[in-house]
């Protein structure tokens, strides 16, 4: 057991919290979205929350932690869904939320600290010069920018710009290494793959440079269709229109909208599926012309309601927020993350939709993938057993629809199901003792793990918490 | 013969020009790009140039012309290549270049008069709020915005936004009809198809509302490759990168660049093909990372030359300017307009390139077409005979590469080779006497014309000029 009294002493001048209730609060994220992760991670808790305000303080924390051999798990807004920010080996939770300054805003780019909340960042760049991030998660109001980079992949705006993995969608990251003498590295272009979407396992992000797009007063629109597949076809046709500027296109099947979008209920029609959209104001007229031609029932327009007070933003009906709204009202709901590779993505959706009537309920997000319009899915699943969930996953994969499993806490099992050699090599360089966010990178913990054997990885470190919870 | 003395009298207060040399000058465009059109249209000349400054004056001119049964051919900067602005039946050339005011600039849109030069429009919207048109022709410095709408199809920026035909890329047009009492119509959304790319045959555009995109200080870049197909593959891969913001991507085969891009010669390498590019400043770093990985030889960067004085913009090496630069130095050159439908557009380019070594020299423009990356071509052709040119066209079409023939002055033969029923119906409504830009719409002049018979349309009105020219 590490000597936390000594550690606290050595961190003098830096905000530290060891009150167990508060530490527990900062040791969790939205892992409970998954009934499986809820069971596995429910007792996970750190020993200390440390909240640096400068890069110098981050360096001091890492130096002390390294000397004491204490794990460090970085944390932003704690809006991840897979335990990204949860300290699977205890130790220090590095809360970066107070490093929240915007340093410079330029045409097409912003430089800022890692912990700034995305909606605040967008507010400042919009006021400064009518700009905003290219895309953001549905948790924009509570997620930090570096948390999004380290734990997310895309979101609202991906219909135009693709994902965080795409060259040019992150411009530069400053990263501090976990060594006796921590180094500060500047990464750009291809090198960004070393740390983006690595859950903070191989460096602590202390500065971020992101590209900006023009900020418009996006109009929230909900278009209804009696048949889900008609909603999907409209979304697909619309997404292919070069001249109509969109930020969000999400077909969502009945009964989700009417049952779970409580604040929008007055505008919705029972039994209808919908497409939730964000449309640039100057594209509204052509957008409505297309919706009319494709027999869409325009139910809601934020530019025509008297007041948006009390009504969530359209993006807060989409991506992970769709699931969140369902979970609030029905705890038997869970979800999957599905890829429907194009160009026959619409047909794949049709086949999958027909295979699981009432059990898997459609929720798609149209995105750009390698320059082509495609869709990803975050369908809701009426959860019965682990086994049935695995079966649903297998059937999707057999039908050419890969699953990014949101019921796993490791990078590999939630992602490509193989070792990311670039990230592994970088971790060896930046975190030789393996103290950064332990348990998240299988390639580090168990290099011989066989991904094809069909067994889940179980991080041995979790046993401590299992005992504690008993 | 119309009574032009009387017409001039009735147009009192409106600028009128009947000096034959000046009228002749305003009766031509860049028709001489085509050796065939040069022969056919060389003697075409109007009777009078009228230059209104307001919509009221346009209405007066049309009313007088209608009463006298005199044709009216609208004209902007005269930068068309197919005789769009040439008065094939003589009459009035309606010069709209003095209607050049910007009326309103809003986020994402501008409202202006038809005759404003595009570079001046972009200058004003950039100064006002950092905005510019989504795309423009390579003749930006001399073309008018309504001339582009009436006679163009796309251009620099089409890699992101597609073409003028795409819903949302023109927002609204005000159009005056050619009737005893001219009406003013407002067209938007689907109705825009009635008048855009109609050469002014069915209404005179008096006001334009266009969408705007953010204006960046685009960096001109030229990347060299020893093999043309390597340049094409780089252009294709780059265009598919979601996160790299581009405005222009044009692969151009050797020997065009070194032989014809005179002002850029100090940076070019003999024998190399190139890709001419415009890259957003904040996308330069990821762009260069990709170029390096794909072994591109970055020859020129406008952000690294001491001064751009005397060096043309990158866009003035592309689209029709590529041909123009060749023609200045080699009058035996002409060109084609080719479509290479995706997704196998790169392979189609390869096949066509190999079929005509040294005779057809590759020039591609990457564009977005129905949401997908594709390429169009404006290859140079070493011209020998009309017959050989027709043969080259046929071989392209047999290989699945449709030709938009730039050696024809009619809408149909330059375009889809079929009657545009929407435009024809609208012309019946707005120009019952057929006085607007006669000779350009075959469907109007000869409804029974058989497009499949393989014969070119010859406008009978041209006979007058043929005699005059003898």
Using a CB-CB distance cutoff of 8 angstroms, which residues of chain B are in contact with residue A208? none
Task: Report the SS3 class of residue B98.
Answer: coil
The pLDDT, as a whole number, for residue B284 is 98
Tell me the whole-structure pTM to 2 decimals.
0.96
Q: Is B359 exposed, middle or buried (0-12, 13-18, 19+ CB in 10 A)?
A: middle
Average pLDDT in the A164-193 region? 97
What's the CA gap between B428 and B60, in Å, rounded?
A: 21
Closest residue in B to A134 (Cα–Cα): B243
The pLDDT, as a whole number, for residue A452 is 85
| Model confidence band, residue A468 (pLDDT cutoffs 50, 70, 90) | low
pLDDT digit string, tens, across residues A211-234: 999 999 999 999 999 999 999 999
What's the CA gap between B160 and B132, in Å, rounded?
A: 14
What Å distances lie between residue B347 and A174, A470, B82, B274, B404, CA to CA? 42, 64, 30, 18, 20
What's the CA gap between B470 and B463, in Å, rounded?
A: 11
Using a CB-CB distance cutoff of 8 angstroms, which residues of chain B are in contact with residue A290? 167
Tokens standing for residue B44: 């075409």
Quick one: which H or E segment has residue A127? helix A118-129
Task: Report the SS3 class of residue B154.
Answer: coil
| Model confidence band, residue A470 (pLDDT cutoffs 50, 70, 90) | very low
Q: How high is the mean pLDDT of chain A?
A: 95
Q: How many Cα atoms occupy the beta-carbon half-sphere of B188 within 13 Å?
A: 16
What's the CA gap between A104 and A207, in Å, rounded?
A: 11
| Model confidence band, residue A467 (pLDDT cutoffs 50, 70, 90) | low
CATH number, span B219-303+312-398: 3.40.462.10
What's the CA gap between B140 and A19, in Å, rounded?
A: 66
Tokens standing for residue A162: 């693709």
Interface test with B, best of A282, A293, A341 (most B CBs within 10 A): A282
Average pLDDT in the A76-104 region? 96
pLDDT digit string, tens, across residues A410-453: 999 988 888 899 999 999 999 999 999 999 999 999 999 998 88
Orientation angle between helical segments A284-293 and A228-239, nearest 10 degrees: 140
Interface test with A, best of B168, B342, B345, B367 (most A CBs within 10 A): B168
CA-based angle A63:A66:A68, to the nearest 5?
A: 110
Using a CB-CB distance cutoff of 8 angstroms, which residues of chain A are in contact with residue B109? 282
- For the beta carbon of residue B111, count every other beta carbon within 10 angstroms: 17
Q: DSSP readout, A10-70?
A: HTTTSEEE--HHHHHHTT--SGGGSHHHHHHHTT---SEEEE-SSHHHHHHHHHHHHHHT-
What's the CA gap between B349 and B376, in Å, rounded?
A: 10
- As a whole-number percent, the residues of chain A with pLDDT over 70 amount to 99
User: Of the candidates A163, A167, A290, which has its C-beta nearest B167's C-beta?
Assistant: A290
Closest residue in A to B105 (Cα–Cα): A282
Average pLDDT in the A264-276 region? 98
User: Of the candidates B211, B244, B369, which has its C-beta nearest A282's C-beta?
Assistant: B211
Average pLDDT in the A131-146 region? 98
What's the CA gap between B326 and B379, in Å, rounded?
A: 11
Tokens standing for residue B152: 């163009």
Tokens standing for residue B40: 């056919």
- Which one, of B26, B18, B16, B129, lies nearest residue B74 by Cα? B26
What's the CA gap between B94 and B467, in Å, rounded?
A: 25
The answer to whether B118 and B315 are in contact (CB under 8 A) is no
pLDDT at position A408 over 80: yes
Tokens standing for residue A310: 């009390």
CB–CB contact A289 B167 (8 Å): yes
CB–CB contact B217 A373 (8 Å): no
Q: What does the domain layout of chain A look like in residue ranges?
A: 219-303+312-398
**Size of the A and B interface in Cβ pairs below 8 Å:** 146
**ipTM value:** 0.96
Closest residue in A to B215 (Cα–Cα): A107
pLDDT, tens digit only, all 470 positions of chain B: 799 999 999 999 999 999 999 999 999 999 998 999 999 999 999 999 999 999 999 999 999 999 999 999 999 999 999 999 999 999 999 999 999 999 999 999 999 999 999 999 999 999 999 999 999 999 999 999 999 999 999 999 999 999 999 999 999 999 999 999 999 999 999 999 999 899 999 999 999 999 999 999 999 999 999 999 999 999 999 999 999 999 999 999 999 999 999 999 999 999 999 999 999 999 999 999 999 999 999 999 999 999 999 999 999 999 999 999 999 999 999 999 999 999 999 999 999 999 999 999 999 999 999 999 999 999 999 999 999 999 999 999 999 999 999 999 999 998 888 889 999 999 999 999 999 999 999 999 999 999 888 888 999 989 888 766 54
Q: Is B328 exposed, middle or buried (0-12, 13-18, 19+ CB in 10 A)?
A: exposed
Quick one: which H or E segment has residue A458? none
Closest residue in A to B192 (Cα–Cα): A286
The answer to whether B289 and A168 are in contact (CB under 8 A) is no
Residue with tokens 């009128």: B16
Q: How many Cα atoms occupy the beta-carbon half-sphere of A174 within 13 Å?
A: 16
The pLDDT, as a whole number, for residue B224 is 98
pLDDT digit string, tens, across residues B108-154: 999 999 999 999 999 999 999 999 999 999 999 999 999 999 999 99
What's the CA gap between B342 and B388, in Å, rounded?
A: 27
The pLDDT, as a whole number, for residue B454 is 80
Orientation angle between helical segments A345-355 and A228-239, nearest 10 degrees: 160
Closest residue in B to A343 (Cα–Cα): B343
- Which one, of B371, B99, B356, lies nearest residue B242 by Cα? B371
């Amino acid at each position: 057991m590490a000597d936390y009294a000594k550690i606290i002493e050595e961190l003098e001048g830096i905000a530290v919290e060891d009150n167990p209730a508060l530490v527990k609060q900062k040791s969790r994220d939205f892992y409970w979205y998954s009934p499986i992760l809820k069971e596995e991670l429910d007792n996970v808790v750190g020993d200390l929350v440390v909240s640096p305000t400068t890069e110098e303080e981050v360096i001091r924390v890492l130096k002390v932690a390294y000397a004491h051999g204490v794990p460090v798990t970085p944390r932003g807004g704690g809006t991840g869904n897979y335990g990204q920010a949860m300290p699977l080996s205890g130790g220090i939770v590095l809360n970066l939320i107070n490093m929240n300054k915007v340093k410079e805003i330029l045409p097409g780019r912003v430089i800022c600290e890692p912990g700034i909340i995305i909606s605040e960042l967008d507010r400042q760049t919009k006021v400064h010069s009518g700009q905003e991030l290219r895309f953001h998660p549905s948790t924009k109001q509570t997620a930090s920018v570096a948390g999004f980079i380290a734990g997310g992949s895309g979101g609202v705006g991906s219909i135009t710009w693709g994902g965080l993995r795409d060259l040019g969608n992150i411009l530069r990251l400053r990263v501090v290494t976990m060594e006796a003498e921590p180094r500060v590295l500047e990464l750009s272009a291809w090198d960004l793959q070393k740390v983006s979407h690595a859950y903070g396992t191989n460096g602590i992000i202390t500065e971020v440079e992101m590209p900006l797009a023009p900020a418009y007063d996006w109009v929230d629109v909900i278009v209804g269709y009696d048949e889900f597949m008609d909603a999907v076809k409209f979304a697909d046709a619309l997404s292919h229109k070069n001249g109509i500027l969109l930020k969000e296109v999400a077909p969502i099947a009945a009964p989700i909208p009417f049952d779970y979008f409580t604040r929008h209920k007055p505008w919705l029609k029972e039994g209808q599926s919908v497409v939730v959209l964000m449309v640039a104001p100057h594209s509204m007229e052509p957008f409505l012309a297309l919706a009319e031609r494709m027999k869409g029932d325009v139910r809601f327009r934020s530019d025509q309601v008297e007041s948006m007070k009390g009504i969530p933003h359209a993006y807060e009906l989409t991506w992970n927020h769709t699931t969140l709204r369902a979970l609030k009202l029905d705890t038997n709901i869970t979800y999957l993350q599905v890829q429907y590779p194009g160009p026959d993505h619409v047909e794949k959706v049709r086949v999958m939709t027909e295979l699981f009537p009432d059990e898997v309920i459609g929720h798609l997000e149209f995105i750009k993938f390698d320059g082509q319009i495609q869709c990803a899915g975050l369908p809701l699943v009426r959860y019965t057993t682990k086994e049935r969930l695995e079966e649903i996953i297998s059937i999707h994969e057999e039908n050419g629809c890969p699953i990014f499993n949101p019921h796993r806490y490791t990078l590999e099992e939630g992602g490509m199901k193989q070792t990311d050699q670039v990230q592994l090599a970088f971790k060896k360089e930046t975190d030789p003792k393996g103290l950064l966010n332990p348990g998240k990178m299988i390639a580090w913990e168990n290099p011989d793990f066989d991904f094809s054997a069909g067994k889940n990885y179980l991080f041995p470190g979790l046993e401590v918490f299992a005992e504690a919870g008993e």
